[in-house]
């Protein structure tokens, strides 16, 4: 009975297919811009840089407790891939659900906005790895080309590119996922519960078998074990969570207005449980550090869910004071960082690899490790942000960070509201890089 009442209460979705038709013809209508996604995307991209900096600089610690504390920080910031998947599904469902869907148009935009820069940066990383960082040059062009194809197919050109491969997989499945959204809209709580339990079961089996080197006797399971981080189905819960959030955004905002403070409890409880579990693993069970900080373990589902809810609430607090005539405070900054986030994700590996070889070893060892780690993070993230902003403001080169053309009004976007005519001009760029239509309903403005 409770579930039936909940389903009825949630049935009045923010997104209604009935709004798609006008005068008997299909019309592409703009939906209000979700300001919350801007700081979510920007901060998550910057935290991705922190994840890699923390992981690569752990060797700076000369004590066991120092290494353990830094790895505890690593696992605490390792919610980023789950957040990106949530945001990706949220944005795509928000933009496309209940509207005429053209698969050819959808895939063309993703090919130009995501797949093209992914392939180009895979080539760039391969060139740098062979000619700059390692000096191990492929003996023939055929060997080089084969390595490039392998890197593109597996996301192994650089340590962070696997996520782009995950995104591409979700894009391929999206035309099938979109009709599925119509079903889960009718059964939101049941779907979310089943998906959550399934995620726990998948990660439990994976964590206690494949990640321990057990059960991978056949070539199939060896393949799954080797590439499990890059397989989209193992993260199914976060895609469904993002889709349901897009469907019931109005109800979620209403809940956050009254009870958003509960997400603080969820976040603090989640990170507390995560750290207790981590130290039990390494101190009591004597598990290897790499195993203890694995993202693919059941405890991360609870922690990531609490973290997503907490940061979504913080973003909503920032965005809720928006009026029809104004954007939220510091919107120009967050919007620019959001637009640059895709480039930050793609580029930061080059800067970090460079700094880890020539900058970090040169820091005075008398400096505390925390200072050296934070300085490496600030410089790496700053260089990546600056490079991404510069590239997205250069014609043609803007394609490297997922934009078809530079912003029409300089590096920082205008504070004014976008009108429907402007929306049509920038829509391809936004869907490719931000995965969300930065559009406002002109009728409400």
| Residue pLDDT, tens place only, 283-302 | 999 999 999 999 999 999 99
State the alpha helices, DSSP H only, in 187-286: 188-208, 219-227, 236-247, 249-259, 262-279
CA distance 120 to 97: 31
Residue among 145, 169, 143, 141 nearest 155 (CA): 169
Tell me, yes or no, whether 415 lies in a domain: yes
Task: Please give the pLDDT value at position 168.
Answer: 95
Residue among 430, 415, 314, 374 nearest 39 (CA): 314
H helix or E strand, kind and range, residue 150: helix 141-154
Helix (H, G, I), strand (E, B) or coil at 349: helix
CA distance 105 to 203: 35
21 backbone dihedrals φ, ψ, rounded to 5°: -95, 140
Tell me, yes or no, whether 399 lies in a domain: yes
Range name among 50-54, 223-227, 311-315, 440-444 with the lowest pLDDT average: 440-444
216 backbone dihedrals φ, ψ, rounded to 5°: -90, 65
Residue 130 pLDDT grade (very low, low, confident, very high; cuts 50, 70, 90) = confident
Evaluate if residue 369 carries a pLDDT over 50. Answer: yes
Tell me, yes or no, whether 103 lies in a domain: no
Tell me, yes or no, whether 313 lies in a domain: no
The set of residues, in sequence order, having a beta carbon less than 8 Å from that of 61 and lying 6+ positions away, is: 67, 69, 70, 369
414 backbone dihedrals φ, ψ, rounded to 5°: -65, 150
Structure token digits, residue 178: 């979109």
Rounded (5°) CA angle 121-126-128: 95
- Is 410 buried (19+), middle (13-18) or exposed (0-12) by CB count in 10 A? exposed
Of all residues in the chain, the percent with pLDDT exceeding 90 is: 71
**What is the β-pairing status of strands 25-26 and 21-22?**
antiparallel
| Residue pLDDT, tens place only, 326-338 | 889 889 999 999 9
Q: Which residue has the higher pLDDT, 421 or 341?
A: 341
Residue 137 pLDDT grade (very low, low, confident, very high; cuts 50, 70, 90) = low
Q: Which structural domain range is residue 362 located in?
A: 48-62+332-445
> Average pLDDT of the chain?
85
Residue among 14, 172, 188 nearest 94 (CA): 14
Task: Please give the pLDDT value at position 429.
Answer: 38
Helices (H) and strands (E) in the chain, counts: 18, 2
Residue 224 pLDDT grade (very low, low, confident, very high; cuts 50, 70, 90) = confident
| Residue pLDDT, tens place only, 338-353 | 999 999 999 999 999 9
| Residue pLDDT, tens place only, 383-415 | 999 999 999 999 999 999 988 777 654 454 443
Domain count, the chain: 1
- Is 273 buried (19+), middle (13-18) or exposed (0-12) by CB count in 10 A? middle
Q: Are 14 and 249 in contact (CB under 8 A)?
A: yes
pTM score of the predicted model: 0.84
First CA to last CA across the chain, in angstroms? 41
Residues 134-150, mean pLDDT to the nearest whole number: 80
Residue with tokens 């080797």: 226
Tell me, yes or no, whether 99 lies in a domain: no
Residues 41-67, mean pLDDT to the nearest whole number: 96
| Residue pLDDT, tens place only, 151-199 | 999 999 999 999 999 999 999 999 999 999 999 999 999 999 999 999 9
Of all residues in the chain, the percent with pLDDT exceeding 70 is: 82
Tell me, yes or no, whether 387 lies in a domain: yes
Task: Please give the pLDDT value at position 326.
Answer: 81
Structure token digits, residue 370: 């925390």
Evaluate if residue 58 carries a pLDDT over 90. Answer: yes
Tell me, yes or no, whether 214 lies in a domain: no
CA distance 126 to 240: 34
Task: Please give the pLDDT value at position 180.
Answer: 94
Helix, strand, coil distribution of the chain in percent, nearest 5: 70, 0, 25
Q: How far is CA 158 from CA 103, 126, 142, 226, 324, in A?
A: 30, 8, 21, 16, 43
Evaluate if residue 418 carries a pLDDT over 80. Answer: no
Tell me, yes or no, whether 118 lies in a domain: no
Structure token digits, residue 168: 């591409």
């Amino acid at each position: 009975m409770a579930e039936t009442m909940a389903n009825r209460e949630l049935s009045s979705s923010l997104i209604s297919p009935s709004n798609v038709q006008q005068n008997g013809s299909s019309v592409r209508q703009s939906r209000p811009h979700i300001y919350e996604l801007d700081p979510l995307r920007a901060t998550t991209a910057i935290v991705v840089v922190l994840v890699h900096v923390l992981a690569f600089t752990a060797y700076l610690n000369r004590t066991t407790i120092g290494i353990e504390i830094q790895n505890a920080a690593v696992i605490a910031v390792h919610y980023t891939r789950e957040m990106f998947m949530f945001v990706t599904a949220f944005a795509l469902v928000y933009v496309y659900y209940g509207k005429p869907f053209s698969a050819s148009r959808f895939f063309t935009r993703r090919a130009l906005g995501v797949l093209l820069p992914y392939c180009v940066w895979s080539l760039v990383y391969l060139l740098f790895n062979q000619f700059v960082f390692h000096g191990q040059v492929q003996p023939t062009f055929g060997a080089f080309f084969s390595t490039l194809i392998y890197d593109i197919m597996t996301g192994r050109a650089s340590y962070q590119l696997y996520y782009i491969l995950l995104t591409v997989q979700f894009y391929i499945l999206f035309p099938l996922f979109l009709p599925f959204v119509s079903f889960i809209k009718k059964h939101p709580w049941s779907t979310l519960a089943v998906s959550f339990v399934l995620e726990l079961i998948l990660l439990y089996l994976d964590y206690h078998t494949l990640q321990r080197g057990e059960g991978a006797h056949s070539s199939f399971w060896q393949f799954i074990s080797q590439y499990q981080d890059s397989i989209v189905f193992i993260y199914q819960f976060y895609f469904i969570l993002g889709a349901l959030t897009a469907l019931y955004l109005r109800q979620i905002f209403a809940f956050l207005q009254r009870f958003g403070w509960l997400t603080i409890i969820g976040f603090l409880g989640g990170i507390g449980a995560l750290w207790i579990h981590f130290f039990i693993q390494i101190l009591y069970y004597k598990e290897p550090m790499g195993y203890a900080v694995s993202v693919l373990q059941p405890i991360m589902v609870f922690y990531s869910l609490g973290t997503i809810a907490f940061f979504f609430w913080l973003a909503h607090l920032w965005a809720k004071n928006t009026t029809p005539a104004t954007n939220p405070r510091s919107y120009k900054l967050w919007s620019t960082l959001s637009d640059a986030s895709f480039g930050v994700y793609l580029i930061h590996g080059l800067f970090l690899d460079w700094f880890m070889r020539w900058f970090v070893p040169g820091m005075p060892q008398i400096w505390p490790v925390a200072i050296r780690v934070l300085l490496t993070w600030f410089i790496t993230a700053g260089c990546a942000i600056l490079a991404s902003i510069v590239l997205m403001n250069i014609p043609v080169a803007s394609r490297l960070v997922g934009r078809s053309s530079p912003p029409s009004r300089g590096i920082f976007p205008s504070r004014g509201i976008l009108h429907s005519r402007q929306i049509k001009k920038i829509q391809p760029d936004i869907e490719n890089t931000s995965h969300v239509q930065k559009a406002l309903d002109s009728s409400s403005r």
